[in-house]
Amino acid sequence: QVQLVESGGGLVQPGGSLRLSCAASGIDVSMFRMGWYRQAPGKQRELVATVSSGATINYVTSVKGRFIISRDGAKNTVYLQMNSLKPEDTAVYYCNAYLGDNGDYWGQGTQVTVSS
């Protein structure tokens, strides 16, 4: 079975850093487009960053220059390094695997709270 499990969320002060991890089972993270999404209370889920099977990377404008998405094929894990965090980054962050015609897989989410 396919499973995506996020970890690494927590409480951090503005300007701080956090690294999220997405451990995958049942799929190879190097074979699909992997991504991170986030959802704040009362808001729509938005795409934060993606990395394709060909290693093309895209970020939403609001995190460009602050966040870095990466993957480790040996560990079958996708990461989101979050730097210079702002209160508006507060959200539940979800890992996603896009399989094209075969749809998507989602993790359960991990809470990130940026506050003094």
Per-residue pLDDT reduced to its tens digit, 17-27: 999 999 999 99
- The pLDDT of residue 102: 87
pLDDT, mean over the chain = 97
Residues 23 and 77 sit within 8 Å (Cβ to Cβ): yes
pLDDT, tens digit, 9 for 90 and up, residues 31-73: 999 999 999 999 999 999 999 999 999 999 999 999 999 999 9
Residues 76 and 25 sit within 8 Å (Cβ to Cβ): yes
Q: Quote the tokens at residue 16.
A: 């701080």
- The pLDDT of residue 29: 96
Residues 98 and 91 sit within 8 Å (Cβ to Cβ): no
- The pLDDT of residue 113: 98
- The pLDDT of residue 57: 98
